[in-house]
């Protein structure tokens, strides 16, 4: 019986822990293991790969087990391949195929009636995609924001598209696309770094968080949906999950896109693991604290944190002693708490509160003092 095993390394602190979980899930099974989009190119990759294969052999010696690895790096391919006969090189797209993707992304149903001057510029831009579909999709989405000759010429003449190495070229294209985003969309995009890599966003929740931070103007879910769709069009979101009616429910960000968003946030986003309090959070605007296995609370500076606007705590004890008067979003989802302290009523600017998946049964009366609260979530509690 075919099964899909999802080994999530997001909450694991080291490679041995991840391999241990992999051993546990695959022991005695016959499996095809897919490793997608591998980029690592350091000197130790070869030794790590040999160690990884040894662990897999120890897990199961069944005949028929296989590893399928995808990469855009020739060096990675040469390290991991068992034989050149087993390598399959996917052909790059032609310039015309890249242009076909780009014009569909930029014009949609109107792609059959593009002005001749724009088509000429578009075909020149398509040559700089290097035959990579992701590059064509991202550039096409960017060109769709402004469909005029001046904007397209700026893209065509931008030197960042001349990077020779494929990974650098894709990163340059993503950066170029980000530079062309309207300021409000840039803020929404940067705020996604509040969550770790490979995190699965809920579209609805993401829009609520944007609204809470004041990024969506006018503040409405319909307007927020437009923002989301614009970022999706630019391929900043991927792995879209739809419901039975075709509505988008969840999505993720590619690692390269997440890195770009992190650089855009100017280090205003901070992630703490295992309740570490040694990091300087004085300049943090968004804070993600992951303490799933901890029982202690997080210590904030005595004077509080005046810049902090969003706080997401995964498995953290909340004692209500924090001076976070400017906080707009507070996610206590999965936190080890049974009640919300009455001091929460002091968070006058709070617009979003999530107490889902906690032991909370009753909210304090002071919750009525949160006059700016827009969204209250309490699923599974």
Q: What is the largest CA-CA distance in the chain?
A: 69
d(CA 358, CA 354): 10
Strand, coil or helix: 33: strand
Q: Give residue 197's pLDDT.
A: 82
Residue 267 exposed, middle or buried by CB count within 10 Å (0-12, 13-18, 19+)? exposed
d(CA 334, CA 8): 18
Q: C-alpha 215: how far from its chain's center?
A: 18
Q: Which of 113, 180, 100 is nearest to 143 (CA)?
A: 180
Strand, coil or helix: 112: coil
Q: Which of 188, 197, 240 is nearest to 215 (CA)?
A: 188
Residue 140 exposed, middle or buried by CB count within 10 Å (0-12, 13-18, 19+)? buried
Q: Which of 98, 127, 38, 44 is nearest to 74 (CA)?
A: 38
CA Rg value for the chain: 24
Q: Give residue 149's pLDDT.
A: 92
In the chain the beta strands, taken as DSSP E runs, fall at 32-35, 66-69, 201-202, 238-242, 248-252, 269-273, 286-290, 310-314, 329-331, 352-354, 375-377
Query: The whole model's pTM is what?
Result: 0.73
Contacts of 178 (CB under 8 A, 6+ apart): 186, 189, 236, 260, 264
Q: Can you give the pLDDT of all 381 residues of the chain as single tens digits?
A: 445 555 544 444 456 777 777 777 777 777 788 888 776 655 556 677 777 777 777 766 666 777 888 887 778 888 888 777 788 888 889 999 999 999 998 888 777 788 889 999 999 999 988 888 888 888 898 888 888 999 999 888 887 776 555 556 777 888 888 888 888 899 999 898 888 888 888 999 999 999 999 999 888 999 999 999 989 888 889 889 998 888 999 999 888 888 888 887 766 787 776 555 555 667 788 888 776 555 445 556 555 677 889 888 776 665 555 677 889 999 887 777 788 888 888 899 999 999 888 888 889 999 999 999 999 998 877
């Amino acid at each position: 019986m075919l099964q899909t095993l999802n080994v999530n390394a997001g909450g694991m602190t080291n490679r041995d822990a991840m391999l241990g979980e992999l051993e546990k899930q695959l022991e005695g099974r016959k499996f095809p293991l897919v490793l997608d989009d591998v980029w690592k190119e350091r000197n130790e990759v070869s030794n790590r790969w040999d160690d990884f294969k040894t662990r897999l052999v120890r897990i199961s010696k069944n005949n028929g087990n296989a590893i399928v690895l995808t990469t855009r790096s020739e060096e990675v391919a040469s390290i991991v391949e068992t034989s050149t006969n087993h390598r399959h090189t996917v052909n790059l797209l032609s310039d015309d195929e890249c242009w076909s993707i780009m014009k569909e992304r930029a014009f949609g149903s109107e792609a059959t009636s593009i002005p001749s001057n724009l088509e000429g510029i578009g075909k020149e831009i398509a040559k700089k995609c290097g035959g990579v579909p992701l590059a064509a999709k991202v550039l096409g989405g960017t060109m769709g924001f402004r469909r005029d000759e001046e904007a397209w010429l700026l893209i065509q003449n931008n030197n960042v598209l001349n990077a020779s190495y494929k990974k650098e070229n894709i990163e340059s294209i993503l950066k170029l696309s980000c530079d062309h985003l309207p300021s409000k969309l840039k803020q929404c995009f940067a705020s996604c770094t509040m969550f770790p890599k490979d995190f699965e966003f809920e579209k609805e929740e993401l829009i609520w968080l944007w609204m809470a931070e004041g990024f969506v103007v006018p503040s409405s879910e319909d307007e927020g949906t437009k923002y989301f769709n614009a970022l999706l069009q630019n391929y900043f979101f991927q792995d879209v999950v739809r419901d039975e009616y075709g509505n988008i429910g969840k999505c993720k960000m590619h690692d390269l896109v997440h890195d770009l968003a992190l650089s855009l946030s100017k280090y205003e986003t901070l992630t703490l693991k295992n309740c570490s309090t040694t990091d300087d959070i004085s300049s943090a605007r968004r804070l993600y604290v992951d303490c799933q296995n901890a029982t202690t609370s997080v210590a904030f500076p005595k004077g509080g944190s005046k810049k902090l606007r969003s706080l997401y705590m995964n498995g953290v004890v909340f004692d209500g002693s924090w001076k976070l008067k400017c906080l707009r979003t507070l996610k206590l989802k999965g936190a080890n708490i049974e009640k919300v302290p009455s001091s929460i009523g002091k968070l006058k600017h709070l617009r979003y509160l999530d107490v889902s998946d906690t032991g909370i049964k009753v909210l304090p009366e002071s919750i009525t003092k949160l006059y700016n609260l827009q969204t209250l979530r309490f699923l599974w509690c």
